[in-house]
Structure 1
Amino acid sequence: MRARLCSKAICGRPAAFTLTYDYAGCAMAIGPLSPTADPNSYDLCQIHSDRLTPPANWTLLRHTVFGGVEAAADPAPTQLV
């Protein structure tokens, strides 16, 4: 099985996270790398995951795993000022 790489152009780092979108709900979710590749999601390396910011008025949910237990961090949505 071939390792999955970051979806960002020109990045050759191994993927560590999977990013999904809910366009109707204006939300993005990023969590641990999914077990299988999905054409409707994006695989990201650690660096691009850390740099990810949502578009204005969108919510970004970060799902993390602590000791085998999944936890969700739900920051306030980004607002235009």
Structure 2
Amino acid sequence: MTARTCSKVACSREAVSTLTYDYADSMAVIGPLSTVREPHTYDLCAIHAERLSAPLGWQIVRHQALGEPQGGVL
């Protein structure tokens, strides 16, 4: 299996997190890299996952894999 790269334009870093939007609940959900690439998700590198911001009125939900330190980069 080849490494997946970040979905951000012009970023060639290795993806470590997957971002999904829940439009009905105005949420951006980011968690560990999914096992398979899905068409409506975005793979992000550690830098872009940490810097993620959401539109005004939206909330960001961050899930961490078991064993990851709190506050650490995903």
TM-score, normalised to structure 1, is 0.80
Aligned length: 69
Gaps of 5+ in 2: 69-74
Match of 1:5 in 2: 5
> How do 1:1-81 residues align onto structure 2 when only pairs under 5 Å count?
1-67=1-67
Match of 1:65, SS state, is coil
**Identity rate, percent:** 51
User: How much has 1:24 moved relative to structure 2?
Assistant: 1.2
Larger Rg: 1
Runs of 4+ off more than 3 Å: none
The amino acid across from 1:37 in the alignment is R
Q: Alignment RMSD, CA only? A: 1.5
Structure having the larger proportion of residues in helix: 2
Q: Which has the higher contact order (CA 8 A, sep 6+)?
A: 2
TM-score, normalised to structure 2, is 0.87
Structure having the larger proportion of residues in strand: 1
